[in-house]
Structure 1
Amino acid sequence: MTGTETPSRTVFVDVDGTILEHGSVIAPSTIAAIRAARANGHLVYLCTGRAEGDIHPTVRAIGFDGAITNGGAFATIGTDLVVSHTMSRPDLDRLVAYFVAHGIHYFLQAHDHIYASPGVFAMMNEFVRLRAERRAEDLRHLGHGDTADLLDAVMTDAAERYSPLDEADLDEIAKAVFVSEASDTVSRAQEDLGDRFHVIPGSMPLPGGSNGEIGPLGVNKGAAIVEVLGHLGRSAEEAVGIGDSWNDVEMFEVCGVSVAMGNADPELQAKADRVTTGVLDDGVWNAFVALGLI
């Protein structure tokens, strides 16, 4: 089926766990699906919790019509920034004070950069090692044999992606990501900060503890999609949202058709209209085919 046989649709695609698996592995069919859908006249936007500056170059190289980033805090149409919702300084000061008081390590995200609190990398060493191992498994799954230097590559990538906290412009922060040795930090933060913040579980596969994402109430992927569609003069009914994480819930609620990845939490899958296959098992391709986008 081609784009000339169906009305043009606007598709919003999550990154981690939807396009990417374990940091940088992409199924070739995902690249082909996105490019084919755009060739058929559909608009395809990234819709990610990552900062703009943290989107992997291999993802950018696929080609998109724009991007929603930082979980809905920013959005671009082409290269034009059309949505920008930074955190107020009183809210940010409260959030940082909470992290410090509870011994929680954290990242602060701006539009282009991510800033890491002291000690966060020491806690995440095991996570980085596990991610390198899983990335090697993913590459072997896709038929790549040489994975010997992956740990060094992943460690170097992590060190280059994040800047020290003291370099941050605190008036430009939109979102925080935290990692904690305690297993109940997400639920505690929801209770303690829920009056002003949207607190959700994160997607880092840590060997222990917990992690989560925090942004201002009302700033989420769904709200940003509504804003982007308003700029485009398009309706939410014709929009498609594809994702695998808890920051995709509002995207599912807004888009006319929602698709959960096969690797998503079963509870999240239950909130979607459809479930496709896993991220490395042609999940995006199969979803696009099922929806008549390609």
Structure 2
Amino acid sequence: MPNYKVAFFDIDGTLADNELPRELGIYGRIPESAKKALSKLKEQGIEPVIASGRNYEMIADFAQLLEVDSAIASNGTFVTFQGEEIASHYLETELVAEMIASFQAAEVEFLLETATEILEYQVGDPVPENVLQFLCHCPKDELPELDTTQVIAEKVAPTALNIHYAHISKASGIEEILQRMNITAEQALAFGDEENDFAMFEKVGFPIAMGNGNEELKAKASYVTDTVGNDGIWKACVELGLFDSE
């Protein structure tokens, strides 16, 4: 077995059980077995990294509870390693202004995401300079026409889209962390369940799909584990010999 040094984890549908009430919050929807698995991985010298479409501020609080110090946030547009920001990829202000105008003309509602907050843009507001991505809750075919040479719309949940630079993804965030750790892709694992995990799966040596995941993603996985609620993360780690079941 390769000498794994890092494991990347999506949140919704992977770490957190989407079948549980949202009122529980992210941390409250993470099975105890998954929390224990992250701790055991650290004991084995495997760095756990949260890799999510969510912004860093939304990740930071529960990551601290999990004692996870590294994160790929906002689909790779903001990356930290062991508490230090190592990369940020803000949309150019001119591009943000053009996209805002397109969304407003198409009467499609949107939000703007920075590393620390979600902004609701009002007509006449100055265009923010630190936008990482746009957030929309609509089918892709309802979006205004996008410049696909610059941006991409990714489905991160059944009715949620994130729009960010086309060349940035969880995969580019993985590359930045691998480079910082001075390790190869073969020393990396990834756990995911949804469409925006495809790129992540292509950048690690061993991708693992959750049992509740996207069927196309499962087809690309090296291993398909049980569902989140049925201790899928713990079971995969034990089955793959990352740590024992004690």
Q: TM-score, normalised by structure 2?
A: 0.87
Counterpart residue identity of residue 105, structure 1 = E
Shift in CA distance, 223/50, structure 1 to aligned 2, threshold 3 Å: same
Structure 1: unaligned runs, 5 residues or longer:
119-164
CA distance in 1, matches of 2:221, 2:144: 24
- 1:79-94 alignment runs, 5 A limit: 79-94=83-98
| Aligned position for 2:185 | 236
| Aligned position for 2:56 | 52
Q: Report how many residues are paired.
A: 234
How far residue 6 of structure 1 moved from its aligned partner, in angstroms, is: 7.0
Which structure has more helix as a fraction of its residues?
Answer: 1
Say if 1:105 and 1:117, in contact at 8 Å, map to a contact too.
Answer: no
Q: Secondary structure at the match of 2:137?
A: strand
Shift in CA distance, 41/269, structure 1 to aligned 2, threshold 3 Å: same
| Aligned position for 2:3 | 7
- The C-alpha deviation readout for 1:93-130, integer Å capped at 9, x for no partner, is 12212211111111211111112357xxxxxxxxxxxx
Q: Does 1:96 align with 2:93?
A: no
Q: 1:109 aligns with which of 113, 116, 120?
A: 113
Counterpart residue identity of residue 107, structure 2 = G
Q: Does 1:76 align with 2:25?
A: no
- The C-alpha deviation readout for 1:28-83, integer Å capped at 9, x for no partner, is 10000000110111111111111111127344301114111010011111111101
- Structure with the bigger RCO (C-alpha within 8 Å, sep 6+) is 1
Q: Does 1:171 align with 2:129?
A: yes
- 1:142-291 alignment runs, 5 A limit: 170-180=128-138, 185-187=139-141, 189=143, 192-203=146-157, 205=158, 210-291=159-240
CA distance in 2, matches of 1:116, 1:21: 28
Q: Secondary structure at the match of 1:202?
A: strand
How far residue 193 of structure 1 moved from its aligned partner, in angstroms, is: 3.4
Shift in CA distance, 21/99, structure 1 to aligned 2, threshold 3 Å: farther
Counterpart residue identity of residue 100, structure 2 = V
Q: TM-score, normalised by structure 1?
A: 0.74
Runs of 4+ in 1 over 6 A off after TM superposition: none
How far residue 290 of structure 1 moved from its aligned partner, in angstroms, is: 2.3
CA distance in 2, matches of 1:99, 1:191: 9
| Aligned position for 1:42 | 46
Sequence identity of aligned pairs in percent?
27
How far residue 200 of structure 1 moved from its aligned partner, in angstroms, is: 1.6
Structure 2: unaligned runs, 5 residues or longer:
none
CA distance in 2, matches of 1:230, 1:186: 34
